[in-house]
A = this chain, B = another copy of it.
Amino acid sequence: MAETIAAPAASTGRRGKRPPVGEPVIERAFRLLAAFDQSHRGLTLASLSRRSATPLSTTRRLAEQLVEVGALERDDAGRYVIGLRLYEVASLAPRGLGLREIAMPYLEDLFVVTREHVQLAVLEGSHAVLVERRSRPGAVAVEYRIGGTLPVLNTALGLVLLAYLADDRLAEVLAACTHQDDLVAAGHPDAVERALAAVRQSGVATINRRTPVPIVAVAAPIRGRQDAVVAALSIVVPAGADPRSYEAVVRTAARGISRALRSSQL
């Protein structure tokens, strides 16, 4: 299990834009796919070309090939959108829906007992990816989308995912965060290191945030085989709640998921 879902270091730092000349077709195709994001789910040929920094003619040719295999689809307006076929294939990612499948009953338990937001995330490159969330309608608003990214600093999930990294991998992630607002907000590297040490000592990460909505988040690590931390589980409650009252329940649910992971075939 751990072998399968441990974050591969190789995937870090490969997202930089490169000139299309001599670039392998697969890399160019994925640059097209990476042009989509939450506020750009449907792209015209021109905007796909612009956002992927790919010449129009190349964009057209590659996009049509991606439509052929189902990685892209065209909507009613003729815009390109990510295809359901890609979702089918991607649903087999052990660190995505594979993890989710195993974790879901525990998330469900935690949600039913607390009636608050419950979130599950993994590390990918230098950011965290939200794998699943269970939310009660009307619970305190949180801004992250399933399958979307969240910052590693200033989120309880992120701190847990960082706290157990090997030194060189941590340095790599923090270097990638340098230009992010949240590293500025997190303060001096020493402050980050102190925060991570506190997580390692207590086994939970706690965040009090005032913006955009005042919340308290408590997260705990999920461990796969060989005890490697492969994911994090959090609960998000309105500001003013005592985080200590949530530590036991989050840690307990995270341990349940860890045990299920270790005995799974992922």
Interface residues, chain A, CB within 8 Å of chain B?
2-6, 8, 10-11, 14, 24-27, 29-30, 33-34, 36-38, 41-42, 62, 65-71, 73-77, 79, 81-98, 100-101, 105, 108, 122, 124-125, 129, 137, 145-149, 225-226, 265-266
Contact = CB atoms under 8 A, between A and B. Distances in A.
Contact of A95 (B84, B95, B225): B84
Contact of A84 (B36, B67, B122): B122
A6 to B, nearest CB: 7
Contact of A73 (B11, B87, B226): B11
Contacts of A84: 93, 95-96, 122, 124, 129
Given A3-B77, A87-B147, A92 B38 contact: yes
B30 A71 contact: yes
Contact of A27 (B69, B96, B108): B69
22 contacts: A8-B67, A8-B83, A11-B67, A26-B62, A30-B69, A30-B89, A33-B89, A76-B225, A76-B226, A81-B92, A82-B96, A83-B95, A84-B93, A84-B95, A84-B122, A84-B129, A86-B90, A87-B91, A87-B97, A90-B91, A91-B147, A101-B145
B90 A87 contact: yes
B4 A69 contact: no
Contacts of A100: 146
Leading 4 A-B pairs by shortest Cβ distance: A91-B147, A3-B76, A87-B96, A90-B90
